[in-house]
A and B are shown apart, each in its own frame.
Chain A
Amino acid sequence: MPRRHLVSHRLVAVFLLGCLLFNYPLLAVLDRFGSIGGLPSSFVWLMAAWFFLIVLMAVIVERSDNRDY
């Protein structure tokens, strides 16, 4: 696989990961945890997962060469 495809393939993987993290059934599992540190677990989970995805995307994009993808 050429390098330039690697970046976009990684991002597609992030997309799939996001679909998993933001949806049933994973969300249902976390929703039943109750609260984490006084905050509702689903809220904490969604914000944390969201931020994690953004960091992941930033790392993938910024580490790649300008000409990639």
Chain B
Amino acid sequence: MLTVWIIVAASLAYLVLLFGIAWYADRRADAGRSVIDNSLVYALSLGVYCTTWTFYGSVGRAAASGIGFLPIYLGPTLLFALGAVILHKMIRIAKANRITSIADFVASRYGKSQLLGGLVSVIAVVGVIPYIALQLKAVSSTFVLLTEVGLQPGAATVAPLLQDSAFYVAGLLAVFTILFGTRHMDATERHEGMVAAIAFESVIKLVAFLAAGLFVVYGMYGGLGDLFDKARAVPEITQRLLGDGRAVIDYGNWFALTLLAFFAALLLPRQFQIAVVENVNPQHLRRAIWLFPLYLFLINLFVLPIALAGLMHFPGGTDADSFVLTLPMAFQQQSLTLLVFVGGLSAATGMVIVETIALSTMVCNDLVMPVLLRWRALGLQQREDLTGLLLGIRRWAIAIILALGYLYFRIAGEAYALVSIGLISFAAMAQFAPVVLGGMYWKGGTQSGALAALGAGFFIWTYTLLLPSFAKSGWLPADFLQHGPWGIELLRPQQLFGLTGLSEITHCLVWSMVFNLGSYVGVSLMRIPDAREARQAKLFVEESGAAAPNWRGGAELDDLLPLAARFIGPERAQEAFDRHARSRGFTSSAALHGVKSDAELVHFAETLLAGAIGSASARAMVASVVQEEPLGLDEVMNILDEASQVRAYSHELEIKSQELTQATAELRAANERLRELDSLKDDFISTVTHELRTPLTSIRAFSEMLHEDPKIDLVERTRFLGIIVSETERLSRLINQILDLAKLESGRAEWTSAEVNLSEVIREAVDSISSLAKEKKITLQLDLPEPGAIVLADRDRLTQVMINLLSNSVKFVASGSGHVKVGAGETADEVSVSVCDNGPGIRAEDRELIFEKFRQGTGDAGALTDKPQGTGLGLPISRQIIEYFGGKLWVESELGKGACFRFTLPRDSAQNRR
């Protein structure tokens, strides 16, 4: 049997160890080497979610309803799956706005309303104090269980004050919380020592519970299978808990509990404190997303087995809540019993410490300070240093909250009100869900909407859950439960409006959410948010740092620095202002002196103060020193509207300017092209003029000679006239071709189209050129397929091309040895024609030039000739014609080895053109 002294000594030693850890962590934090700056410690400290309600109560619930205890842990698991979305955003918002409690969060979101902050604080305190009482009760009753009467049923009675362990625990916790929770005023409200201690407590309670579980499953039974087999042999257990083959879960209730726990893990003051306020680095959340659910999983692993073992071992006996302790006791496992007791102690102390710190911040910032600051008779507005006062308020708040918790425990004792208080607290905290989550994702929520929502939700919660629990404890007449107030059956608290068939928690959740959410949305939609609400909504929903300015006008550094100093102490204030100045590129805060009307500085000071006294009070304080010309709604709206319009315009401008740039580039290219064409045209005209002048000059010269000298003899005269005739012919040919080319290029040429036998066309062309060839003694060789390929084309134009190519070849080959070969071939989709000669060939660089107007090939190595043998227009015209029919005309040649002109025509060319 463990003696009282061993237990007391162990408990004291444990608490001293906690002090040590907290003290060490605080020292390290002051030295800048934080021990809690990692995700493992963060995840462990989140384990504060598991209180004695988990440590002892889960087993009790499991003994009563099988796996019905699980939703309380599945909810937080689901929440953390959304951690990257919801929690991460919450942490970012809280850090940006220096939010230090859930009350501050709500107050700040809805226009920094003191009223709203106060209401949230009241709900939190009312909802959570019984929960604190529950922790003290657990410590007290387990202590009694261990030291006095052991295993007798119903033994845990409330001890006299001075013998009551809970009294001493409450006292010690008050000291601990005050020491590590209110060491100094800090704008961030972070408590590293406390967090380190909480993380350590999480480890202890997990180890203790796992040890108890392993002992039960493997010490008392031969493993899980054995335990469940034996349990199944007990008919009562089988029927009630295991339910082989039958549904044992009430799904509506199951879902409601999951949802409640989901909200609780986000909104319970201690969860908000640990997850959001004490968060060192948002990145820590990453790993906590799965570490925290894993912690919950592990601590629940043995709950059902312990419950079953307890039921089997103490049939119809002992309080199931304490199975985890009484089972090792029954087997004389003294050290294990002690470990489990310490584990339970750690679960209780962890919860109480964090919860009281969170509540004291709320009470101080959102309840007491607003009242004190308004109470002009106290002269607080004028007092120099308020840090002492602030710390004093918090310390008193901690002491009073713990005293209230203890008082509640003493009064409620074994009453029903305490038994299910965990869930009742959860249901109270769930009332924050619409305003908090709505506030983070919906900009339309207003202060009146939030007030209505919280008011309605809290009222329904009180009416359907808190009052009935009082009634069941005998503090209120119970008949209003049965018959409703004033005998109105429809208003019976637990069957409101005749809704039956739900558990009381589900019933409360359904109605409170209906009214809460309904009021929030309904009342919010009655008007548009005013200027301040709109600004805060933007900060919370969009997290945009540069919202519309909160302050017009400004304040001097001389006003703001002393104001901050009054609340957080001169050194800390100076330090913070210096940091701010440096972040804006000044050397120190002194340099800010000259900066007039500095809205940014005012905003900084307000945020700094918000960390210490809450956003609503901070706003009031800053307003007292700023020569405020408050922004009217219209002005803010105008600013916002203007801003968005300017954005829209600038976007349009950007698009327009892009279009302009593009258009300019296109224009420039077109202009370039035009210049090119222009110079080409000039070239063309000068070339044409030159070409025309040459024959004209010789015609004129010979005509003048004939005209002036009638005595020229006949032979000479005939020769002159022959030259004139041939030059005239050349001139008219030239003019015809220029006209032809102009027509082709302008697209005004007339085309006829018919089926043409290519071989016939070639033969015709060769016939017409053969006399010329004979004259030069050139051999013409034909290699044509029979029957010839049929293409759709303009017969005359095709002939023109062939004659042009043939006459070119004939022109350039040497007379006598000249040789021109004409070939034709066809493939599936095109026909090809080649005209090859053994002339001088064409230099590589000239092979494209010859297709330009007035450029001609030359026989020798010289430049393109300007002593034309043709007009220089034949090839360009030919190419135009072939391309018109969709074909290609090109030349292959090697210098000295002749040239080969080839063209192709698609078989269905004519169709394509149409």
A interface residue numbers (CB < 8 A to B)? 7-8, 11-12, 14-15, 18-19, 22-24, 27-28, 31-32, 34-35, 37-40, 42-43, 46-47, 50-51, 53-55, 57-58, 61-62, 66, 69
Using an 8 Å CB-CB cutoff, how does the interface string of B78-105 with A read, 1 for contact, 0 for none?
Answer: 1011111100100000000000000000
A16 to B294, CA, bound (A): 18
The reply to whether the CB of B67 lies closer than 8 angstroms to some CB of chain A is yes
| CB <8 Å contact, B258 and A22 | yes
A57 to B74, CA, bound (A): 14
| CB <8 Å contact, B83 and A28 | no
Q: A22-B78, A24-B255 are in contact. Are A40 and B244 (CB under 8 A)?
A: yes
The reply to whether the CB of B289 lies closer than 8 angstroms to some CB of chain A is yes
Residues of B contacting A51 with CB < 8 Å? Answer: 297
Report the minimum CB–CB distance from B196 to chain A (whole Å). 24
Report the minimum CB–CB distance from B472 to chain A (whole Å). 29
| CB <8 Å contact, B224 and A39 | yes
17 CB-based A-B contacts, threshold 8 Å = A15-B81, A19-B78, A22-B258, A23-B251, A23-B254, A27-B251, A27-B254, A28-B247, A31-B249, A32-B246, A38-B228, A39-B225, A40-B228, A40-B244, A42-B243, A46-B70, A57-B293
| CB <8 Å contact, B304 and A43 | yes
Residues of A contacting B255 with CB < 8 Å? Answer: 23-24
| CB <8 Å contact, A54 and B251 | no
Which of B81, B228, B283, B304 contacts A18 (CB under 8 A)? B81
Residue of B67, B74, B81, B241 ringed by the most chain A CB atoms within 10 A: B81
| CB <8 Å contact, B247 and A31 | yes
A34 to B246, CA, bound (A): 7
A58 to B287, CA, bound (A): 8
B282-296 interface (Cβ within 8 A of A): 283, 286-287, 289-290, 293-294
B355-380 interface (Cβ within 8 A of A): none
| CB <8 Å contact, B293 and A69 | no
The reply to whether the CB of B242 lies closer than 8 angstroms to some CB of chain A is yes
Residue of A35, A37, A57 ringed by the most chain B CB atoms within 10 A: A57
Residue of B78, B244, B245, B289 ringed by the most chain A CB atoms within 10 A: B289
| CB <8 Å contact, B80 and A57 | yes
11 additional contacts (CB under 8 A) given A31-B247, A39-B224? A11-B83, A12-B84, A14-B81, A23-B251, A39-B225, A42-B67, A53-B77, A57-B289, A62-B287, A69-B84, A69-B88
The reply to whether the CB of B704 lies closer than 8 angstroms to some CB of chain A is no
The reply to whether the CB of B229 lies closer than 8 angstroms to some CB of chain A is yes
The reply to whether the CB of B523 lies closer than 8 angstroms to some CB of chain A is no
Residues of A contacting B241 with CB < 8 Å? Answer: 40
Residues of B contacting A39 with CB < 8 Å? Answer: 224-225, 228
| CB <8 Å contact, B251 and A15 | no
| CB <8 Å contact, B229 and A40 | no
| CB <8 Å contact, B286 and A61 | yes
Which of B84, B249, B283 contacts A7 (CB under 8 A)? B84
Residues of B contacting A35 with CB < 8 Å? Answer: 228, 232, 242, 244
The reply to whether the CB of B738 lies closer than 8 angstroms to some CB of chain A is no
Residues of A contacting B287 with CB < 8 Å? Answer: 61-62
Residue of B74, B85, B247 ringed by the most chain A CB atoms within 10 A: B74
| CB <8 Å contact, A50 and B297 | yes
Residues of A contacting B293 with CB < 8 Å? Answer: 50, 53-54, 57
| CB <8 Å contact, A11 and B251 | no
* Top 3 closest pairs, chain A to chain B, by CB: A15-B81, A24-B251, A8-B84
Using an 8 Å CB-CB cutoff, how does the interface string of B232-267 with A read, 1 for contact, 0 for none?
Answer: 100000000111111111010011001000000000
| CB <8 Å contact, A18 and B290 | no
Residues of A contacting B228 with CB < 8 Å? Answer: 35, 38-40
Residues of B contacting A23 with CB < 8 Å? Answer: 251, 254-255, 258
Report the minimum CB–CB distance from B582 to chain A (whole Å). 26
Residues of A contacting B247 with CB < 8 Å? Answer: 28, 31-32
| CB <8 Å contact, B225 and A57 | no
A32 to B241, CA, bound (A): 14
Report the minimum CB–CB distance from B72 to chain A (whole Å). 12
Report the minimum CB–CB distance from B238 to chain A (whole Å). 10
Q: A11-B85, A24-B254 are in contact. Are A54 and B77 (CB under 8 A)?
A: yes
| CB <8 Å contact, A40 and B243 | yes
Query: What residue in chain A is nearest B288 (Cβ atoms)?
Result: A61
| CB <8 Å contact, B81 and A11 | yes
Report the minimum CB–CB distance from B283 to chain A (whole Å). 7
Report the minimum CB–CB distance from B230 to chain A (whole Å). 10
Residue of A15, A53, A55 ringed by the most chain B CB atoms within 10 A: A15
A40 to B67, CA, bound (A): 10
Residues of A contacting B224 with CB < 8 Å? Answer: 38-39
Report the minimum CB–CB distance from A42 to chain B (whole Å). 6
Query: What residue in chain A is nearest B287 (Cβ atoms)?
Result: A61
Report the minimum CB–CB distance from A46 to chain B (whole Å). 6
| CB <8 Å contact, B251 and A53 | no
A23 to B74, CA, bound (A): 10
Which of B70, B81, B248, B304 contacts A31 (CB under 8 A)? B248
Residues of B contacting A47 with CB < 8 Å? Answer: 297, 301
| CB <8 Å contact, A46 and B67 | yes
Report the minimum CB–CB distance from B71 to chain A (whole Å). 8
Residue of B67, B71, B225, B241 ringed by the most chain A CB atoms within 10 A: B67
Report the minimum CB–CB distance from B537 to chain A (whole Å). 23
Residues of A contacting B81 with CB < 8 Å? Answer: 11-12, 14-15, 18, 53, 57
Residue of B66, B83, B241 ringed by the most chain A CB atoms within 10 A: B83
| CB <8 Å contact, B85 and A12 | yes
Q: A24-B255, A46-B67 are in contact. Are A37 and B225 (CB under 8 A)?
A: yes
| CB <8 Å contact, A66 and B74 | no
| CB <8 Å contact, A54 and B244 | no
| CB <8 Å contact, B225 and A38 | yes
Q: A24-B251, A51-B297, A54-B294 are in contact. Are A43 and B78 (CB under 8 A)?
A: no
